[in-house]
Amino acid sequence: MGDLVMQAIPTGNEELDMRLGGGIPIPSLIMIEGDHGSGKSVLAQQIVYGALKSGLRVFYVTTEATVKEFILQSKRVSLDLSQPFIKGMLKIYPIHLEGARWTRETASKMLPILGKFAMATLNEWDLFVVDSFSVLAVFASVEGVMDVLTRFKQITSSNRVIILTIHPNSMGEDVMIRARAVCDGYIRLRATDFGGRIVKVMEVIKLRGATGPVDSTIVFDVDPAFGIKILPISFART
């Protein structure tokens, strides 16, 4: 991480950092799992926002948006990433084939390329995000997925952080169990109806290396004016 000495990446949201025991531990390989609409991309962008504010360099690989769409998404939730992108602190790599469908052959080629790319550019980034990893892994072999995760794990030992977002049930349960075990952090997201209002629930299953106590359950909403807004647990139980 250059000359920076940090134990955790702050998210730029003080209350979220407090609930996560200080932020995202350095080094670590983190899996964020959740269905569509559960807040995976917003949480990833919140972490990216905090990393950039701390002077860290970010590579963001997206299978779900173009560069323009990604920047617009960040602006909609007040996590404007356009300036860091212009300055080169944030580099966005869309893997988006318009009108094309992922095939077993494509996936089997893309996964190792992604691993090699992360390794080859190691000195150019501090935080590497893949959103969504499951799009690349869904048709890949068990060995292919585990090879890439093992490579990612080795890369993070160089004081780096890699975050993967993933859809549940996108791969076989055997692969999912092994993938979760390899990761230092495993965060599960879901959308739930509380009192007629849809909120998001973050379950921190594990966060190895956290610098302080971690809340196992964090309830939040996505506020266009604030980004992630933590809600009191008492609200969630009403």
| 89-133 residue pLDDT tens | 999 999 865 555 666 677 678 889 999 999 999 999 999 999 989
How many structural domains comprise the chain? Answer: 1
| Pair 147, 119: CB distance under 8 Å | no
The percent of residues in the chain predicted with pLDDT above 90, rounded, is 70
| CA–CA gap between residue 147 and residue 153 (Å, rounded) | 10
CATH number of residue 206's parent domain? 3.40.50.300
Asked if residue 238 has pLDDT above 70, the reply is no
Q: 2 in a domain, yes or no?
A: no
Q: Which backbone phi and psi does 170 adopt, to 5 degrees? A: -80, -20
Terminal alpha carbon distance of the chain: 43
Q: Which residue has the higher pLDDT, 197 or 53?
A: 53
| CA–CA gap between residue 204 and residue 110 (Å, rounded) | 29
Record the pTM: 0.93
According to the model, what pLDDT value does residue 101 have? 65
Give me the domain span that covers residue 127: 8-236
Rounded to a whole number, what is the largest CA-CA distance in the chain? 50
Nearest CA to 1 out of 111, 119, 116, 127 is that of 127
| CA–CA gap between residue 119 and residue 141 (Å, rounded) | 21
| Pair 151, 118: CB distance under 8 Å | yes
Helix (H) or strand (E) holding 58: strand 58-62
84 Cβ contact list (under 8 Å, min separation 6): 52, 58, 90
